[in-house]
A = this chain, B = another copy of it.
Amino acid sequence: MSKQAEFAVILKMNAMFADLGADELQRLSNLCHTQHLANGEVLFQKGDPGNALFGVRRGQVRIETGASDGSRLTLNFMGPGDLFGEVAVLDGQSRTADATAGEASELFVLRREDFLGFLEREPKVAIKIIALLCQRIRWQSERMEESMLQPLPVRLARRLCALAADFGSEVHISQEQLGVFVGAARESVNRQLQAWRKDAILDLQRGRILLRNMTKLTAIARNE
């Protein structure tokens, strides 16, 4: 499979491009480049202009943010098939977090200028993108309000389920980082996890959470 075809598949899996026709997708994929990163190499930093969209071909990219106290918090891991920077490539605003290669990686790169040129040539695609952005706005305002009003166990269960979808039942994350994710104190996170351990929903190890009973966890995430 050609590099372009491979990129098209990744785009198609992302909600933002899922609606595009095969022909549109192919013409868009033809604009892509690839870029190699050594382990630990910095892809972009907070504040850099958002001049491209990236897809992971192989390897791993960590999205992290440097807290004011100098410590680093990992916000996300992007693995093969994951796409990031969709919004940045559209509006060119500066990055809000850092991205570093967690291992030697190869990325697909779609540059902002190329993408905008494409949209200008294909206004029908631009309109589809507009519709998708609108959906995202609606979805965000519904979810956010709902989400933040939920009690901590629900928010925590949701986050764990999301992480499980990416990494399987062994989630590699510290309780401190988990706390940042769900907007809660580390101690509160710990207490809730302990309670779930007693209920055999999960097991805890240093820096690791082993999800034992996803059924119960998703039930909690749905708020009963």
Q: How many residues of A contact B (CB 8 A)?
A: 31
**What's the Cα separation between A91 and B134 when bound, in Å?**
6
Instruction: Specify the main secondary structure of chain A where it touches its partner.
Output: helix
Flag whether A76 is at the interface (Cβ < 8 A).
Answer: no
Q: Which residue of B119, B127, B149 contacts A116 across the interface (Cβ within 8 Å)? A: B127
**What's the Cα separation between A65 and B138 when bound, in Å?**
16
Q: Which residue of B96, B116, B120, B144 contacts A144 across the interface (Cβ within 8 Å)? A: B144
Chain B contacts of A134 at CB under 8 A?
A: 87, 90-91, 93, 133
Flag whether A23 is at the interface (Cβ < 8 A).
Answer: no
**What's the Cα separation between A138 and B90 when bound, in Å?**
12
**What's the Cα separation between A133 and B96 when bound, in Å?**
17
Most chain B C-beta atoms within 10 Å of own C-beta, residue among A96, A130, A135, A136: A130
Tell me the minimal C-beta distance from A68 to chain B in angstroms.
16
**What's the Cα separation between A10 and B159 when bound, in Å?**
42
**What's the Cα separation between A129 and B134 when bound, in Å?**
11
- Residue pair B135, A137 in contact (C-beta under 8 Å): no
- Residue pair A140, B140 in contact (C-beta under 8 Å): yes
Tell me the minimal C-beta distance from A28 to chain B in angstroms.
15
Flag whether A92 is at the interface (Cβ < 8 A).
Answer: yes
Tell me the minimal C-beta distance from A113 to chain B in angstroms.
12
- Residue pair A136, B135 in contact (C-beta under 8 Å): no
**What's the Cα separation between A119 and B125 when bound, in Å?**
11
Q: Chain A 33-75, CB within 8 Å of chain B: the 1/0 string? A: 0000000000000000000000000000000000000000000
- Residue pair A90, B130 in contact (C-beta under 8 Å): yes
Residues of chain A touching chain B, judged by Cβ–Cβ distance below 8 Å, are 87, 90-93, 96, 116, 119-124, 126-127, 129-131, 133-138, 140-141, 144-145, 148-149, 183
5 residue pairs from A and B, CB less than 8 Å apart:
A87-B137, A93-B135, A116-B127, A120-B124, A121-B123
